[in-house]
Amino acid sequence: MASSEYTEVVVEGRKVRLRAPAAEAIPAYGAATRVVGTAAQRVDALEKVTGRAVYPSDLRLPGMVHARFVRSARAHARITSMDLSHAEKVPGFLAAIGPSELSEKSLKDMLGRELPILTEEPKYYGEEILAVCAETDDAARAAAREVRITYETLPFSVDPEERVRAGQFVGGGWTPTGPGRPAVYERGNVQKAMAAANRIIERTYRTAPNVHSSIEPHAAVASYEEGRWTVWESTQGVFAVREELAAMLGAPLLSVRVIGTHMGGGFGSKVSAGKYTFIAAYLAKKLGRPVRCVQDRSEEFVSPYGRPPSVVTIKAAVRPDGKLLAIEQKGIHAAGPYGFGAEWGHAEDMAAEMYACDNVRTETYAALTHTPPPCAMRAPGHAQAAFSLEQMMDEIAREIGMDPVEFRLKNLPARDPVSGKPIAVPRGSHGLAECLKKGGELFQWKKRRKETRDAPPPRFRRGVGVAATAWSAGGGPPASVVIRIHADGVAELFAGAADIGTGTRTALAQIASEETGVPVDRIRVTNADTALTSYCLPSYGSLTLASTGPAVRRAAVACRRQLLSIASDILEAPEKNIVLAGGRATRPASRKTPESSVPIAKLVELSASREIVGLGEREGNPDMSIRSHGAQFVAVEVDTETGTIEVTDLVAVNDSGRVINPTMFKSQQYGGVTMGLGMGLTEERVYDLETGRPLNPNLTDYKVPTILDQPAAFQAVPLEVPYDGNNLGAKGLGEPPIIPTAAAVANAVYDAIGIRLAALPLTPKRVIDALHPPESKP
């Protein structure tokens, strides 16, 4: 498949077409692979289970000191006084930094909107006011507690709908508008289509504010020596942190080295430098000692924010034969007081992209709430959007008496309805159609759907539901990888990508092993270190494997060619007859000659360079809409007397092209679905409306699902629909599995009890309130 030839950029106001770097095509994998596609054990499994893997928050450097934030106790206030005299008396106190010292400094989001690092006029509960630093973490906490602040309380609202009614909003999404104007997307003529249609359904859906709940909190350790910073950061992207931190410090790029080899989860919350990063680096220079700045669990609930709450009203029109005629959507989401990060809350893309529909109009309101700025959280926007869109698809399918699977199949787009580009379906099959068909078979959808419809309503009512997803996950440049094979046969692989727990390091080693023949356990992966590895984007947007993986393969192929050339001379055989595997180059036995082989170590030793080096860069993508698809089928049992929803069966089918490691593929499905079940059934950050404070900033009252909350029968199924848009044939998978889960559960609950639950999470309270409406007061 041809790469896109040009990228259009703007240079000093001029449009320039940049040619994609010329790259020699690498043939697709043959019918059989030796290492790719196997369930190789994680390369760092032993390090992690024995505790030898050092995470940034674990790091203790000689002479290291500790920084903590003083946070606002008000949702909106002006600070009238700050008294540090008690804090300064805490034994071990070293320094405090206030807003005036950093008045010129700010964080910037992807659209250039700014967020102060410290503020004198906090606009949400928990906003950072001061940073204090002390010899020990306990002393830093004590000093932070001893700071006396008086506030003049100002009006606030944490309710996005209230803020929109008051005109306090900006347009959301990636092409934001100014204050007081929603972002609008429109194609066709929705009004006309609605007027002509006779089957129209409208409903408002609400999702709750969610929190990433990464096991490792946000953390940075910084040291400053001889004009250079070294920062160990729990991050999804060391290069993003380097760029942003260098800009904030006003320092050259190369004066900042960021290391993030191991990190304990991000889910979108660690894609850029944080306030804690800056404070650690700033204090490290100021004090001349390494500084650690780590957040508590309770702080994780205020900074940064997670998935903002959304209110989506959707209206859809359908023809009796199942053709989707029009979708009209109005979406409101909390965007914090600054609009900073508003791009992460919008729930609009999915309504526009997912199905073939000629008439679509969406309006997005990013409400300026007194809550923390939103940040990306696993499938930002899509997870919220799926809850409304995929329930609406269920509703209108039922409205016309059509099976919701059939209905979706009937409305699949061949081209991306927004960009007009063809959807990458090289061999005539549609990934989503395949997922829906396969999932339906495994789940026995038709049979079970009939069973639940025929069953009489007992105390426990059963229902089944389905929902689908599409997520752009083709990856792409930039990604550059170096592989060095040494004279002892050990290979080093240098890649900039962070492994955020998905197994990136292992998958990359497998790809390198496939070509070079160096066994996976003889490959050392050095990743996410700006001094040792080459630039790449953060591990977000499900792009890591599909971006860096093809670059690894290209680097490995470069090594392979050199190894084969030497092996060909030694084994006196043409290159095509030599197999690189198991750490050896082998010429298989033929009728005339017995098998002969030579260790890869020997080939390297005999090479002119005494080290085999391969460089690989990510090629461009084909000019297509590249999507990872998925469908989920669930069965629920609703206890109508207690409102408890038990998800008894779940089938998750995902197509993201070639599977590099089936164990880790399924782990992504299990993890994403579990997070989706949390979003659907238990997770909600509860705000006190009187004070604007989150009331459950802890993992006991903010309820992440436990292993006992998993479906009893849970099938995670990889579906390898062939894809040839990159040399691996792989697309991304990190985000798709969370997207349809909550909607699929809600659809099943409707099937069970005949009531549409349109607000998350689906708690026993919501079920009971729906089934046994509280008597209205006279």
Partner 1 sequence: MDLLDLMKSSIRAPGRLVNLLTIDELKGIDVDTSGATIGALATLAEIADHPDLARMFPALALAAGHAATPQVRNVATIGGNILQRPRCWYFRMAQYPCLKKGGDTCFAMDGENKYHAIFENSLCAMVHPSNTAVALLALDAVVRTAGSGEIPIRKFFVTPDQDILRESALAEGELVTQLFIPATGARSHYLEFRERQSFDWALVSAAAAAELEGQTLNNARVVLGSVAPIPWRIDLGEIAATDEALDRAADEAVRGATPLAKNKYKVQLARTAIRRSLRELARATE
Name the site residues for partner 1 (rule: CB under 8 A): 73, 145, 641-644, 681-682, 686-691, 693, 695-696, 700-701, 703, 705-709, 763-765, 768-769, 772, 774
Provide, rounded to whole angstroms, the least separation between the CB of residue 709 and partner 1.
5
* Interatomic CA distance for residues 612 and 136, integer angstroms: 47
Q: Which is nearer to partner 1, 474 or 680 (CB)?
A: 680
Question: For residue 15, what is the enclosing H or E element?
Answer: strand 14-19
Backbone angles phi, psi at 533, to 5 degrees: -120, 165
Provide, rounded to whole angstroms, the least separation between the CB of residue 705 and partner 1.
6
Provide, rounded to whole angstroms, the least separation between the CB of residue 78 and partner 1.
18
* Interatomic CA distance for residues 221 and 233, integer angstroms: 6
Q: Burial code of 292-305, b = ≥16 C-beta within 10 A, e = fewer?
A: bbbbeeebbbbbbb
Contact between 200 and 280 (Cβ < 8 Å): no
741-753 and 764-771 helices cross at what angle (nearest 10)?
Answer: 30
Provide, rounded to whole angstroms, the least separation between the CB of residue 109 and partner 1.
29
Task: Name the β-bridge partners of 651.
Answer: 633, 715
Provide, rounded to whole angstroms, the least separation between the CB of residue 188 and partner 1.
43
Q: Which is nearer to partner 1, 625 or 674 (CB)?
A: 674
In whole angstroms, what separates CA 93 from the centre of its chain?
A: 38
Helix, strand, coil: what percent of the chain each, to 5? 30, 25, 45
Q: Which is nearer to partner 1, 44 or 639 (CB)?
A: 639
Q: Which is nearer to partner 1, 444 or 644 (CB)?
A: 644
Q: Which is nearer to partner 1, 73 or 184 (CB)?
A: 73
Provide, rounded to whole angstroms, the least separation between the CB of residue 298 and partner 1.
9
What is the full DSSP assignment across 525-572? EEESBTTTS--B--S-TT-HHHHHHHHHHHHHHHHHHHHHHHHHHHHT
Q: Which is nearer to partner 1, 461 or 693 (CB)?
A: 693
Q: Which is nearer to partner 1, 609 or 700 (CB)?
A: 700
Q: Which tokens is 616 given?
A: 């690989």
What count of other Cβ atoms lies within 10 Å of the Cβ of residue 642? 11
268 sits in the region (left: phi over 0; alpha: psi -120 to 50; else beta) called left
Q: Which is nearer to partner 1, 564 or 681 (CB)?
A: 681
Provide, rounded to whole angstroms, the least separation between the CB of residue 74 and partner 1.
10
Q: Which is nearer to partner 1, 142 or 580 (CB)?
A: 142
Contact between 746 and 459 (Cβ < 8 Å): no
Q: Which is nearer to partner 1, 139 or 347 (CB)?
A: 139
Q: Does residue 121 sit in helix, strand or coil? A: coil
Could you write out the three-class secondary structure of 684-751? CCCEECCCCEECCCCCCCCCCCCHHHCCCEEEEEECCCCCCCCCCCECCCCCHHHCCHHHHHHHHHHH
Q: Which is nearer to partner 1, 617 or 709 (CB)?
A: 709
What is the identity of the amino acid at 636?
Answer: V
Provide, rounded to whole angstroms, the least separation between the CB of residue 690 and partner 1.
6
Integer angstrom CA distances of residue 185 from 110, 348, 351, 617: 20, 9, 10, 36
Backbone angles phi, psi at 216, to 5 degrees: -90, 125
Contact between 289 and 67 (Cβ < 8 Å): no
Kindly tell me the burial class for residue 5, based on how many C-beta atoms sit within 10 Å of its own C-beta (0-12, 13-18, 19 or more). exposed
Provide, rounded to whole angstroms, the least separation between the CB of residue 714 and partner 1.
14
Provide, rounded to whole angstroms, the least separation between the CB of residue 697 and partner 1.
9
Provide, rounded to whole angstroms, the least separation between the CB of residue 94 and partner 1.
23
Q: Which tokens is 482 given?
A: 């170096």
Provide, rounded to whole angstroms, the least separation between the CB of residue 681 and partner 1.
8
Provide, rounded to whole angstroms, the least separation between the CB of residue 212 and partner 1.
18
Q: Which is nearer to partner 1, 189 or 691 (CB)?
A: 691
Query: How many residues does this entry show for the chain?
Result: 778
Q: Which is nearer to partner 1, 287 or 768 (CB)?
A: 768
